Amino acid sequence: MASILAFLKNGVFEPDDVEMMSVALDDICEALKIENANPAREVIAERIIGLARNGELSPTLLRERVLKETGISENVAVGRSYPVL
């Protein structure tokens, strides 16, 4: 997985954190029907990285926050559910 690695320029995260951010990125892009080559994927990745830098590392909360910011309901049925830490 680790699909967010391509967008991590100046950030140091633990491998588990990178995986959780990648899960959020993949789930958001799936919900919004964004393909890998779409430039919007980078915008979403940058938002996830920004939230993670501020301490949010739950893939569920990252997904909900970004979807809410896009105007999409946080109840979109996509992806996996993880416990809120």
Nearest residue to 29 via CA among 42, 17, 16, 19: 42
pTM: 0.80
**pLDDT value at 84 more than 80:** no
Amino acid at 23: V
Rounded mean pLDDT, 71-76: 61
Q: What is the pLDDT of residues 27-66, one digit of tens each?
A: 999 999 999 889 999 999 999 999 999 999 999 999 999 9
| Confidence class for position 75, pLDDT limits 50, 70, 90 | low
Q: Is the pLDDT of residue 1 over 60?
A: no
